[in-house]
Structures are given as structure tokens and as C-alpha cells.
Chains A and B, each alone.
Chain A
């Protein structure tokens, strides 16, 4: 499945860009609309609380911390790709493992946040604030979880001999694109839903 110059599966590539990377960009374009709609629904229902819980339930200290962790993971992702590209498989795996770890910490924070909210009496059926919140943040969390699993498979493949010095790195680039996108979506969610 290696890429030879501007050839892929025997095809001449018009732009010289990897097919899989182009596909990922198109997919992320579609995802932008997906999260855009979810965020809009959340914004519409932000104050639709029916006298029950609303924004005051947010624990900004906790979420600021998990946000910091998730944003830092993007840096770790960049360093991982750079290390693999520079031929340092060891450091590539270290940074990759850190990305996974930070993703898991973020998810742990979200699980804790969700269970706290339910404990305080805010569920998806309490009011539309709750319904929109759990839907939006839940879908984002699912994307992070899929990202962690994907990173795990990349790690697995690195132990099975892929991503050696000089080989192609599209497998890491793809998961990197996805991870940065999921991060970026969180920046929008954190700003628009939690902070404002």
C-alpha cells in the first residue's frame, strides 16, 4: 500500500496529494456541518431550562483543565509525527502514547462531568438545555473516543513494523488531521457553550 511518488494503486495523481488525505479533508468538511448544526441547536436551547438546571451547573475549573489537556494533546500529536518523520520511532511512540493518555484523561473528565450532572438531576429529558448539552458534548466525546482507538491501532501498527524511518507516514497524518479537527471543535464548544 506504499505510495510511489505521484502514483497510488497504479493511478496517476493529478494534484500529487495522497488520495486518503484528500478524502479525510472532504470528510472533515462534512463533519464541520455536522458539528455546526449541533452547536446551533445547543445555542438555540442554551437558556431553555424550564426552571431547572442551566449553565450554572458547569464546573468551569474542571472543564478548563480538561480543555487544557486536550489542546496540549494536539501539540503532542505534532511532535509524534515529527519524531516518526525524523526517524525516531521511540520518541514517536512516546508522544503518540501521550496523545492517547491525554485523550483518555479528557474522556475521564467528561464521564465524571456527565455523572455529576445526572447526580444533580440534569438528564437529557430534564429540559432542552440538558438534551442539547448531552447530545453535543456526547457526540464530541464519541469522536474523541474513536480517535483514541484509532491512535491505538496506529501504535499497534508501529510495533508491527510500520512507520519505520523512510517509509510513508500517511497513517499517522490521517489520524493527526482527525485529532486536530476534534480538538478544534472542542475550542468552539468550550467557548460558545461553557464560557459565553
Chain B
């Protein structure tokens, strides 16, 4: 091993190993923490979904009580969006951004650890509500005045509002970190237009997060003031306006949709070229269309509010911008298809999931254009048609894309490959289960079944498709179980992958799997979009990229400064969440949390970074 100057704890004992994870500032280990935690919350949100589907399988059922049901659909949405999908994307940002741009770590390693711990504690904080007087129950977009003290007297909504504030801090800090990393830590020669497409989409996502989250932060602040300081921002009785909440929420909420989908688009844009054996078609257009989606994404939010009654001019304007956003999205899809065209395609599991993502996302995109028409939206608003649409985009798009990424980059997480056969079983079960679950929901929606209802009576004609949908959802559950077993077994005893199992073109495949703590012994020099392909095939620069050794033994080992582990991030995150919990449990926690925050801030500043 190279002389890496860290004061790492002894990892041979259990406590030493645990301590090394708690204090780690290594982006690769933080990526593992993000991935495992996010998959855990994904399972939790999935169980909530299964309970919802079990309740809806038959008419007049009472599998879960109505009150519990509202908690389940609220927490299913909240968990999947904020605790499962966003953090799973963050796992890939963490692992891949430094590797893809040829850097040794992110710009601020301790800040990176802080983002993770805030996320973990925030996620636990929201879910404590289940055993502390009831979980949030006003839907994942918490419409006023359902959230008013008058209609929600328990602390359920406070858990939700404070929890989302905490998670917002985590997301903004992480995004600032990623922006600086991408802008400033690229290897020499890696111009913007040589960055891997995943890096492009990550950068756009990070900008979306820092500009979109403040809107929900303000919305939640006003909501908390309504609840704690008897203001009436969203209460008509005091002159307030519930529609203001909808505006603030969706100014955040619609960009959030792109925050969820753009990383998956970036993942697919890496996988399709690798398994088609040719570069991404129309690289620049794919990159700029991502930026266009992000930009227009800030100007479409009231399509979530077509039935509010904002008037024909507002509805028309936002219908036009909504349909316009289909153009850059379509551009991406055609470029992906053109990437496949004429390639020598190999159908490995990552490729199957990537193609599945493109296909499912097309269906979700088309129903999105349908919903973008105000007259149509007026008919199917708040029906299962909307539920079907959003799941085709966020499950068919994001989840398929993220699983593609897990299969593709599993070697960079663990050094081993996921089992290919079980991977294909997972894909087939998930593809069929997903379509069984959500395709019938289009029909249910057009038939008039409202979303978020506890049950329906047997004379409504909803029975068949609800039963099909429930069967499909349990098929998805089986597919996730197959994946979980495969992942646990492969991480322990899967085939050793080597540095480059897919013969891929980007920088992370030029270094060992899993990469050494310093990533690159020698910072590479880049002069193309696919430096690893260039190196292997004799095009472009073949210098630094090709000569990085697998292990570094011997006398002239490099002396690389790596950041020290630190326990301040976890202390600071705990302090923040403790202080927030004081608004619910006891004021003393606010004081204690603030003290922890203050002490860790001083410790953080005084601690030598390397």
C-alpha cells in the first residue's frame, strides 16, 4: 500500500471498525452508507406501499384502519422521495463524481459526512412519529389547511415539517459540495464537454437542489409559524391563503421531480454507450437538454394546480411550458435510441435495467403530456391516473435507472460483481410486476377512482384492476427480495470484478475495484470524453490513464495526503436534530442540541483537516 497519511482507527476489532465508519470522511465509504441506508428506507417505503395495496385489493376491506391508511400513503410518498430515491442518487454522486473527474475526494470531505449524518438522523426523526403519537397524515405535499392545528392537533405534522427542514439542510449542503467538486476538482484536460454525462446530470441536479429547496424551506417555516406562533399564513380565517402553500410547495415540488429523474438519466447515459460499444449519440445535445429541462422545470409548477382555478391565462401559459418540457426530454430519448442503433449490444443486467428505464419513462412521459392539458387534467385530477403517471416516471424512470446503476457500479462499491442470472430474474420480475401494478391504475383513474381513498364499494367496478394491481405490487416485492439476497451474497462471495469488468470508457474504470483510499495514485490527464476507451484502443492520450498500477508497492510509493477521519460531523448532525426535536418533546433539547452544535462547530474549525 501507498503511504496514506491518515490516523485511521484499527479496523480489525468490531468497535474499531464501527468507529472507522462513524468517523469516515472518505467519499466511497460515505457512498456505501448512503446506499445501504437508502435501500433500507426503500424497503420501509415499499412495505408501506404493500399495506396500501393489501387494503385496496378488495372492496370494503379493513386491512388497515382509515387513520393508519392516511399515515401510510403520506409516509410512503415522503419516504420514497426524500429518504430513498434522493439519497440513492446521492450514493452515486458520492461514489462516482470524484472517480469520474479524476479527483481524490469531494471538495469538503467532512461536510460530506455531515450531509449523510443529517440525512440519517432526519430520516429516523420522521419515522419516530409512528411510535410517538402518530405519523404524518396530510399527504406527501401536506396541503393547507389539512396541516393547520385545528385539523391536525397532534405532533404528526410537526414531525413532517421539521423532518423535511432537516433533510433540506442535508441536501443543500451536499449539493454545494458536489457543485464545487465538479467545478473545481476536475482532472487537467477534463473540460465541461469532456465530463461523463452522469457528471453533467449530477451538476444540474445539484443546482436544482440549491435553487428549489429554499421555496419549501420558506413554506415549512411559515407552516411552523402557523402552528407554533399562531400566525395565519395559510389560514383563511386570519386572512391567509391555502393556495400560497401550494405555490411554495410546487415551486419546489416540480423541480424536485427533475431532481429525482436527472441522476437516473445520467446513469442510463453511461450504461447505454458501454453496452452498445459506441459513444453516446449527440453528447452535447444530451447535456444541454438536461440543462434546458432544469431551466424550464422552474416554470411549470402550476400544472399541479390546474383545478385550483387560477384562470385560463395562467392555465394556458403553464400548459404550454409543460408541453414544451417534453421537447428536451424527447431529445434525450431519441439520443439514447440513436446510441443503441448500430451498436453491438450486449444484454447484461445493467443494460436491461437501462433499456427498461427508457421504455417505462416514455410511457410516463406520454401520460405526463396528457396530464399537461388542463381540460384533461380537470377530469383525472386526484385520480389513480395521476398515481399511475407519477409511478411510471419515478419508479419506471428513477428506480429502474438507479437499479441499473447499482448493477453497473456494484464492482466499484464492493470489488465484486452481482450475480448475472439472479439479476435477470430480478429485472424480469420487477418489469412485469411494475407494469401489472401501475398500468391498470390508468384504467382505474379514467373510471374515476380517486387517489388516497381508504376503500371503495363493490358496485363501482374497481375490483378487477385493483386486484391485478395488488398482485403486481407483491411481485415487485419478490423481485426486491431477489435483489436483496443477490446483493448480500454477491458482496461477500460474488465473482471478483477486476478494475474494468464491462470494458467501459470513463475514468473510474481505470483504477482498481474497489478503488484505493486515494483513488488515483497519479492524477490523470484527460483529452477526450472516453479516456479509458482511448487508452485501451490507442486513441487520444494514453499517458497517465493507462499507466496507473493496480497496487503500489516498492520504494517510490507516493506520499498522498488524505483528510483525517472526524467525529465532529456526526456530533453536529445529532445536535441539529436534537434541537429540532425540542420543538416536539421538551424545550431543554433545543438548548442541548444548540450546545452540541456550537461545540462541534468550534471543534470542526479547530481540527486540522489533514
Residues of A within 8 A of B (CB): 1, 9-15, 17, 19, 22-23, 26-27, 29-31, 33-34, 36-38, 41, 44-45, 48, 50, 124-125, 127-128, 131-132, 135, 153
Contacts and interface: CB of A to CB of B under 8 A. Distances in A.
Nearest to A12: B523
B560 interface: yes
A12 B188 contact: yes
Contacts of B103: 11
Given A1-B608, A124-B229, A135-B225, 17 more contacts: A9-B561, A11-B104, A11-B105, A14-B185, A15-B183, A15-B184, A22-B179, A22-B184, A30-B176, A33-B210, A36-B214, A37-B218, A37-B248, A44-B244, A125-B230, A125-B238, A128-B240
Given A11-B185, A14-B183, A37 B215 contact: yes
A34 B214 contact: yes
User: Which 10 pairs, one residue from A and one from B, show the smallest C-beta to C-beta distance?
Assistant: A33-B214, A131-B231, A34-B214, A37-B218, A30-B210, A125-B230, A14-B186, A10-B561, A26-B176, A19-B107
Contact of A23 (B176, B187, B218, B609): B176
B180 A41 contact: no
A41 B215 contact: no
Contacts of A13: 184-185
B104 A27 contact: no
B478 to A, nearest CB: 42
B474 interface: no
Nearest to B215: A37
Interface in B219-243: 219, 221-222, 225, 229-233, 238-241
Given A14-B186, A135-B222, A27 B229 contact: no
B217 interface: yes
Interface string B96-129: 0000000111011000000000000000000000
A9 B210 contact: no
B141 interface: no
Contact of B180 (A19, A38, A132): A19
25 contacts: A1-B608, A1-B609, A9-B561, A10-B560, A11-B104, A11-B105, A11-B184, A11-B185, A12-B188, A17-B184, A19-B108, A19-B184, A22-B184, A23-B177, A27-B176, A30-B211, A37-B248, A128-B231, A128-B238, A128-B240, A131-B231, A131-B232, A132-B233, A135-B225, A153-B605
A124 B232 CA distance: 9
Contacts of A128: 231-233, 238-240
A50 B236 CA distance: 12
Contacts of A11: 103-105, 107, 184-185
B101 to A, nearest CB: 9
Contacts of B241: 44
B239 A48 contact: yes
Contacts of B605: 153
A5 to B, nearest CB: 14
B563 interface: yes
B187 A125 contact: no
B610 interface: yes
A153 B605 CA distance: 11
B573 to A, nearest CB: 18
A16 B211 CA distance: 25
Contact of B610 (A9, A27, A131): A9
Contacts of B232: 125, 128, 131
Given A1-B609, A23-B177, A50-B238, A10 B104 contact: yes
A94 B251 CA distance: 44
B104 A41 contact: no
Nearest to B226: A131
B213 interface: yes
Interface string B382-416: 00000000000000000000000000000000000
A23 B108 contact: yes
B75 to A, nearest CB: 26
B90 interface: no
A149 to B, nearest CB: 11
A193 to B, nearest CB: 16
A30 B214 contact: yes
Nearest to A35: B214
A31 B609 contact: no
Nearest to B235: A128
Interface centre among B183, B184, B210, B251 (most CB of A within 10 A): B184
B213 A30 contact: yes
A31 B238 contact: no
Interface string B585-610: 00000000000000000000100111
B69 to A, nearest CB: 33
A130 to B, nearest CB: 8
A28 B180 CA distance: 13
A187 B190 CA distance: 40
Contacts of A132: 233
Interface string B147-191: 000000000000000000000000010011101100111111010
Contacts of B190: 14
B405 to A, nearest CB: 25
Given A9-B609, A9-B610, A31 B180 contact: no
A135 B210 CA distance: 21
Contacts of A41: 218, 222, 233, 244
A24 to B, nearest CB: 9
Contacts of A34: 214, 217-218
Contacts of A30: 172, 176, 210-211, 213-214
A1 B564 CA distance: 13
Given A23-B180, A30-B172, A37-B215, A12 B185 contact: yes
A12 B231 CA distance: 51
A124 B107 contact: no
B106 to A, nearest CB: 10
A188 to B, nearest CB: 15
A30 B215 CA distance: 10
Given A124-B229, A135-B221, A50 B239 contact: yes
B308 to A, nearest CB: 16
